[in-house]
């Protein structure tokens, strides 16, 4: 599938700030399931800094905007050719041991309820076990936008019984790590429309390291494994670490932002 991406993020400050520094994970991952046809990232008034490929195989790019500045616009545009690999992250080169992803973070620490949910989904076969964990999370947390926020933890989302893709991914990570699977958070895009029209498409899911298979993606929000509708950007221990854009502003201005993301499928 050939997917076209148009992703805009506008940062506004209620009073000018002296400078803005950002770190981007906005470049599609390199693996057998996707190939970049064209890709560009622009930052209004920005100067591109250093970039590097981290141990997880993700490209990290630095940007600086010198002030005084009241608005910063980040624009991502490009095309990616995708292939359905049934969720398997094949051909992705990374240096970090999967065992590193057994480490919990405050957002993904399993409480008694998450541990109980994971224990109820136990299966003898590792792949069946991983699928059962994803379905257990999907059944325990209803998809309901606006009921959680960016700092909601996996335990809080399960207690509420509702949330969004971030909450599903972090809850699955917590359950998986309790069950002994290395697990990580993945940020990217999803083409979900059936009519080929542009639509809102920022998305997140989890990857579990399954014995005999390696890293496999699971998307509890859609009860599916990532296929050719998905574009993978980057990963991390939780949502905060895997965020496509992270940054700081120097000054007293209060920041607000608006985001639009549209994905369109084009005939090949």
Percent of the chain having pLDDT more than 90?
91
SS (H, E, C) the chain: CEEEEEEEEEEEEEEEEEEEEEEECCCCCCECCEEEEEEEEEECCEEEEEEEECCCCCEEEEEEEEEEEEEEEEEEEEEEEECCCCCECCCCCCCCCHHHHHCCCCCCCCCHHHHHHHHHCCCCCHHHHHHHHHHHHHHHCEECCCCCCCCCCHHHHHHHCEECHHHHHHHHHHHHHHCCCCEEEEEEEECCCCCCCCCCCEEEEEEEEECCCEEEEEEHHHCECCCCCEEEEEEECCCCCCCCEEEEEECCCCEEEEEEEEEEEECC
Please say if the pLDDT value at position 267 is more than 80.
no
pLDDT tens column, 27-76:
999 999 999 999 999 999 999 999 999 999 999 999 999 989 999 999 99
Do 2-81+245-266 and 86-236 have matching folds?
Answer: no
Whole-number pLDDT of residue 72: 97
pLDDT digits (tens, 9 = 90+) for 95-141: 999 999 999 999 999 999 999 999 999 999 999 999 999 999 999 99
188-197, 200-209, 244-253: least confidently modelled range: 188-197
Global pTM reads 0.94
pLDDT above 50 for 198:
no
Could you tell me which CATH class the domain 2-81+245-266 is placed in? mainly beta
CATH number, span 86-236: 3.10.620.30
What pLDDT, on a 0 to 100 scale, did the predictor assign at position 52? 96
| pLDDT over 60 (residue 268) | no
- Output the pLDDT for position 194: 58
Extents of the domains making up the chain = 2-81+245-266, 86-236
């Amino acid at each position: 599938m050939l997917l076209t991406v148009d992703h805009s993020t506008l940062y506004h400050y209620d009073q000018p700030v002296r400078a803005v520094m950002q770190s981007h994970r906005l470049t599609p991952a390199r693996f057998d399931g996707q190939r970049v046809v064209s890709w560009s990232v622009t930052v209004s008034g920005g100067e591109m800094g250093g970039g590097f490929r981290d141990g997880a195989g993700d490209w990290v790019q630095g940007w600086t905007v010198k002030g005084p500045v009241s608005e910063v616009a980040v624009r991502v545009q490009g095309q990616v050719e995708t292939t359905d690999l049934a969720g398997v992250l094949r051909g992705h080169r990374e240096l970090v041991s999967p065992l590193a992803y057994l480490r919990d973070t405050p957002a993904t620490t399993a409480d008694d309820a998450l541990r109980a949910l994971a224990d109820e989904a136990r299966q003898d076969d590792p792949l069946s076990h991983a699928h059962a964990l994803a379905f257990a999370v999907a059944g325990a947390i209803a998809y309901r936008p606006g009921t959680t926020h960016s700092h909601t933890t996996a335990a809080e989302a399960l207690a509420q019984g509702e949330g969004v893709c971030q909450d599903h991914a972090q809850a699955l990570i917590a359950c998986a790590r309790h069950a002994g699977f290395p697990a990580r958070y993945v940020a990217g895009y999803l083409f979900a429309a059936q009519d080929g029209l542009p639509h809102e498409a920022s998305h997140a899911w989890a990857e579990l390291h399954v014995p005999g298979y390696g890293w496999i993606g699971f998307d509890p929000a859609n009860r599916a494994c990532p296929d050719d509708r998905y574009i993978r950007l980057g990963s991390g221990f939780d949502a905060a670490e895997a965020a496509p854009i992270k940054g700081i502003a120097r000054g007293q201005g209060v920041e607000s932002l608006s985001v639009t993301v549209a994905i369109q499928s084009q005939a090949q």
